[in-house]
Amino acid sequence: MQEDCTKQGGMTYFYSGANQSYTYYAISNPNDCEKVANSCTEKVFLLEDSLQAFFGQALATTTVPDWEKRRTLMEPMFDAASARTGVWNRHAKILVEELESKVGKGFFDQTECLQNAAMGILLKSTYGDIEDELQSIASHKTCMQETMDVLYERHRSFMKHKTFIFRLSRLKRRQDACVRTMKALTNELITMKRVEFKKKSASETLLDFLLGLEIQGVSSEKNTVDDIHGIIFGGYSTLVNSLTFILVMIGSNPEVQERVYTEIQNVLSDSTREVKMDDLNNFIYLHAVILEVLRLYPVVSILTRKTKNSMDLSKYSIDPGSNCLLFIHAMNRHHSWGAEREAFKPERWLDGSSRPPYATFGLGRRSCIGMKLALSSMKVILIHLLRDYKVIADIKKLVIKQELLLTPVSGHYIALERRSKTLSSSFQPQDVHC
């Protein structure tokens, strides 16, 4: 659908029945998408009642006036969290240990291992130390998967978009049970951490920061719960799917993998020390690899906006109050990226040339607030993994499906070989600099 939109000139108008909420301008031209995203901050939600049941007024789902205020309040929280590498190092090491049994055993599905690492990072970053951490990781994983399943099932079942039909369905009862479970998990942990927070002199976790906003009187207990749900849900599957795409692509391109490994040795030598925040700035080629993979496989492949005023785009004009779909997948593969737009080419991020708008982490003022946190955590995980193991995969076998997120459904298995600690002579340290 996104590719067809580009073929039609960068915009497609479509509708379903007479319901105005099912009428959209779908846009794939990068410059037009950027203009809409910069001008409009109101999102369009098809199944708003379900989203409100799960996430309430979380940053990603709240109204524009509330979002503007809370985005400003929460940006320092994410900036501080992005500088704490200890959590990422710990769970990266656990992941490496968990994968040890897979070395030399052929292809396997790495999804569960990545899920454990992603949820461990999110819970540790959000709450700090948790009693029975493994059980908490398992419980939150199950709850997040059930949430995804319920939202996707309703999304794809057109009749259940009707509120009165949905309320009579078994799916509504599943949703209610899932919401109760999610709130029970969150409230139990928040209640325990409130006691610890009173004894702290500084914020150490995301929850500490949110509790501090409560004390200042600029946020509420409900805001805290909603934001925790939004952070964990928003970070979990996106991190898992992104790492899956990156590992498969790296495993399919041995020369790229060797260059990443050489960069790891150049920055960290042969030591097995933890990755520090200052180190991450030196992983220029790894950064380019991550951006390039996520250009080709953006986990969130559609953004929504509602126009406030009329807008003149490159070929069309849009009326006020129009629903817009911004097609990220099509933007990231638009012909403005050049003749090799479909090719995996990390070097395009190193040559200093201008590039079209990059939409994987959103566009405009309402782009992803956790982008730096996500990129940094992925780098640490990949550094630990690629320092110990060589990854083998075949991107040509990858089959993806558009559910709520862009999801690998087959062909994403990898194999691991133990890495010999020798520096490749085919790539020199100075090559990593822009």
**Does 176 lie in the same domain as 88?**
yes
Whether residue 123 lies inside any domain: the answer is yes
**Does 218 lie in the same domain as 183?**
yes
> Token pair for residue 304?
């929504």
CB 130 within 8 A of CB 136: yes
Q: What is the per-residue burial (b if ≥16 Cβ within 10 Å, else e) of 260-291?
A: bbbbbbbbbeeeeebbeeebbebbbbbbbbbb
Rounded-to-5 percentages of helix, strand, coil across the chain: 60, 10, 30
pLDDT, residue 371, reads: 93
Nearest to 282 by CA among 300, 268, 294: 268
Domain with 314 in it? 1-39+301-344
**Does 73 lie in the same domain as 31?**
no
**Does 208 lie in the same domain as 60?**
yes
CATH of the domain at 164: 1.10.630.10
CATH of the domain at 16: 3.30.43.20
Number of compact structural domains in the chain: 2
Whether residue 354 lies inside any domain: the answer is no
Which of 310, 344, 378 is the last residue in one of the domains? 344
CB 367 within 8 A of CB 275: no
**Does 230 lie in the same domain as 177?**
yes
pLDDT, residue 18, reads: 60
Whether residue 351 lies inside any domain: the answer is no
pLDDT, residue 84, reads: 83
What DSSP character marks residue 358?
P
Which of 344, 378, 407 is the last residue in one of the domains? 344
Whether residue 69 lies inside any domain: the answer is yes
**Does 144 lie in the same domain as 15?**
no
**Does 184 lie in the same domain as 290?**
yes
**Does 54 lie in the same domain as 199?**
yes
**Does 272 lie in the same domain as 160?**
yes
**Does 282 lie in the same domain as 142?**
yes
> Token pair for residue 115?
């899920």
pLDDT by residue, tens only, the chain of 434 residues: 898 999 988 999 888 766 667 889 999 999 999 999 999 999 998 889 999 999 999 999 999 999 999 999 999 999 888 778 999 999 999 999 999 999 999 999 999 999 999 999 999 999 999 999 999 999 999 999 999 999 999 999 989 999 999 999 999 999 999 999 999 999 999 999 998 888 777 788 999 999 999 999 999 999 999 999 999 999 999 999 999 999 999 999 999 999 999 999 999 987 788 999 999 999 999 999 999 999 999 999 999 999 999 999 998 899 999 999 999 999 999 999 999 999 999 999 998 888 899 999 999 989 999 999 999 999 999 999 999 999 999 999 999 999 889 999 999 999 999 987 654 434 443 343 33
